[in-house]
């Protein structure tokens, strides 16, 4: 069963998910935010998005060590996210390895994997995903960026897109425990939502 925490404003969903993981939270946690003040992608690059326009979330997984040793894991995750976006929007999404998703040559989404390994044991894997969903064209951060709204002219239900992505991720073998994977067979309806109203200091 997915456990979804939906926050208003955080520094980073990746950092918050890491805190939950360090505290012993089991796999299947999804930390979502309407806004991040210190969102980041690969090499520490900032990921900026106007409040309430994008899908910004991190999934906590505790898979076998062999899974994160797979050099193609980031591509496999990207493929699942691309499939979810295409299914809901009809857009043709192209993967720019290892972890960017492009539409018409412009960046729509990014994926960041972060893990902690202790000896020969994987403690946890974090899958951070940022998708420009309902960002108006004039508010896109760079000319090289795009959004689903900019490409289609239509607003998209971000919660429906989140569940579609989670359903796709559930199909990656050994990524999540069976109790979470079973949610796939119920159309990802087996979720627990926890709503948070956050106040943070920049």
N- to C-terminal Cα separation, the chain: 33
DSSP 44: G
Give yes or no for a contact between 174 and 68, defined as CB atoms under 8 angstroms apart. Answer: no
Given this model, what pLDDT does residue 110 score?
A: 94
Cα–Cα distance, 140 to 53 (Å, whole number): 10
Q: How far is CA 117 from the centre of its chain?
A: 21
Predicted pLDDT at 46: 66
**Quick one: CA dihedral 135, 144, 13, 9, positive or negative?**
negative
Characterize 151-174 residue by residue with b for buried, 16 or more Cβ atoms within 10 angstroms of its Cβ, and e for exposed: beeeebebeebbbbbbbbbbebee
* CB-based contacts of 156, cutoff 8 Å, min separation 6: 88, 89, 133, 134, 148, 149
| Predicted pLDDT of residue 193 | 63
Provide the pLDDT for residue 199.
43
Q: What is the pLDDT of residue 49?
A: 81
Q: How many CB atoms lie within 10 A of CB 177?
A: 14
Placement of tokens 């090289």 in the chain: 144
pLDDT of residue 40: 59
pLDDT score, position 191: 59
- The strand ranges marked E within 89-145 are 94-96, 100-103, 106-118, 121-131
Q: How confident is the chain (202 residues) per 10-residue block, as mean pLDDT?
A: 92 95 96 86 65 96 94 94 97 93 97 92 96 96 95 97 96 81 45 56 42
Alpha helices in the chain (DSSP H): 13-22, 65-68, 73-89, 148-152, 158-169, 178-181
Class of domain 2-195: alpha beta
Cα separation, 77 vs 94, in Å, equals 13
What is the chain's length? 202
pLDDT score for 91 = 98
Domain ranges of the chain: 2-195
């Amino acid at each position: 069963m997915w456990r979804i925490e939906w926050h208003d404003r955080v520094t980073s969903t990746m950092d918050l998910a890491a805190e939950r993981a360090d505290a012993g939270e089991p796999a299947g946690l999804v930390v979502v935010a309407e806004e991040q003040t210190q969102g980041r992608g690969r090499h520490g690059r900032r990921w900026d998005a106007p409040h309430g326009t994008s899908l910004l979330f991190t999934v906590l997984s505790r898979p076998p060590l062999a899974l994160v040793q797979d050099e193609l894991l980031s591509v496999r995750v990207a493929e699942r996210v691309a499939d979810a976006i295409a299914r809901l929007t009809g857009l043709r999404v192209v993967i720019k390895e290892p972890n960017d998703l492009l539409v018409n040559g412009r960046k729509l989404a990014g994926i960041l994997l972060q893990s902690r390994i202790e000896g020969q044991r994987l403690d946890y894997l974090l899958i951070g995903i940022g998708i420009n969903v309902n960002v108006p064209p004039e508010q896109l951060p760079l000319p090289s960026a795009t959004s689903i709204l900019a490409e289609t002219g239509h607003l998209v239900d971000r919660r429906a897109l989140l569940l579609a992505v989670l359903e796709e991720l559930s199909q990656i073998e050994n990524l999540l425990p069976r109790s979470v994977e079973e949610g796939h067979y119920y159309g990802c309806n087996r979720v627990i939502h926890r709503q948070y109203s956050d106040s943070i200091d920049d």
